[in-house]
Amino acid sequence: MDQNTEIFGNRIPKDYFVTTGYGETNAGSGIDPWETGAYDLALLMAQIENFNVVEYTSVLPPEARERPIDEVKHLFHHGAVLETIMASINGYQYDHLCAGVGRIQVREKSDGVHIGRFAAEYEGHAPKENAEEVLHNSLIGIFDRRYSPDEYETFDEKFDIIDFDVQKKYGTALAAIAFVTYIYPEVP
């Protein structure tokens, strides 16, 4: 291996923001009439319309820090990849659409060591209150499958949920946790 080659471990997501949006339109064609209409308008409302959005699963490291979107906008770059944990739902006129993301943190009971965070996504037709209950149950389920409540506890549960009734032909609602900075650990 070249002496100038640097080797890094897996990237660790650090700073993130949470955003929601919805869009509706009468325009749409093809097998996915939402893609260039309602979904794009939802991205616009969520202020992430100029990114290439990539979705992944729901584990946040202990280093992760939630920031208001206005504090991280200076990091936005047209056409950049935006890695997200996202809930998104499409529907038709008169549908009630709801999308949400919930977050919860985990720590050791004995010494308070912060283990990290988990997220859950909701995509459906429920009102916000019901979506929050589903998200809460999902987050507790994630915790229960991984940890013993005798040794670990959850704290700082948060929800961001958007819902609306579609008035036009096509509608989309989305909620996202979006990462803007990363830690690149060196490999010893």
Instruction: Note the pLDDT tens digit of each residue in 88-113.
Output: 999 999 999 999 999 999 999 999 99
Rounded CA gap, 49 and 162, in Å?
Answer: 17
Give the pLDDT band (50/70/90) at residue 22: very high
Rounded CA gap, 136 and 102, in Å?
Answer: 7
**Checking phi first, is residue 94 left (phi over 0); if not, alpha (psi -120 to 50) or beta?**
left
Instruction: Note the pLDDT tens digit of each residue in 163-177.
Output: 999 999 999 999 999
Q: Kindly state which CATH superfamily the domain 12-182 is placed in.
A: Pyruvoyl-Dependent Histidine Decarboxylase, subunit B (3.50.20.10)
Tokens of 2: 């070249």
Tell me the pTM: 0.91
Q: Which residue has the tokens 């939802």?
A: 42
Q: Which residue has the tokens 């993130």?
A: 16
